[in-house]
């Protein structure tokens, strides 16, 4: 045993007075566990989290609705009935890829014309 700690009389339970004056290393200090649930914080966490999630979903839905409005009519008619969110996203990607390819073709034609004039 350490020399600074006096030997305690043998008994089953230690009392508060037995610990007075002893220096405890940080190792023995009690730390709150991470997984401990607190009743007060659980309710205060749920409400803002739900509001944040609702705002996030609303933003996503609004953006998908705007993409749907921007799609050309011929793409909208390729599907029967209601356009689901996933279908709107797929059609938007298809349209953007077609526009990108068209822009690239026009760029190549411009370069070819410029080289022909030289």
- pTM given for the model: 0.54
Query: Is pLDDT larger for residue 23 or for residue 12?
Result: 23
Mean pLDDT, range 97-103, rounded to an integer: 96
* pLDDT confidence tier of residue 27, bands split at 50, 70 and 90: very low
**CA-CA-CA-CA torsion sign (83, 88, 92, 93):** negative
Helices 39-70 and 85-117, axial angle in degrees (round to 10): 50
SS3 65: helix
Per the CATH hierarchy, to which homologous superfamily does domain 41-114 belong?
Answer: Helix-loop-helix DNA-binding domain (4.10.280.10)
Q: Which two tokens stand for residue 116?
A: 């022909």
């Amino acid at each position: 045993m350490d020399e600074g700690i006096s030997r305690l009389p043998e008994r089953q339970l230690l009392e508060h007075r037995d610990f007075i004056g002893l220096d405890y290393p940080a190792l023995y200090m009690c730390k709150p566990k991470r997984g401990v649930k607190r009743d007060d914080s659980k309710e205060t966490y749920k409400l803002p989290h739900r509001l944040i999630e609702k705002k996030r979903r609303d933003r996503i839905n609004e953006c998908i609705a705007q993409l749907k409005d921007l799609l050309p009519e011929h793409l909208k008619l390729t599907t029967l009935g209601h356009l689901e969110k996933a279908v709107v996203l797929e059609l938007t990607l298809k349209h953007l890829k077609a526009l990108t390819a068209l822009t690239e073709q026009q760029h190549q034609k411009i370069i070819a014309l410029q080289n022909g004039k030289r």
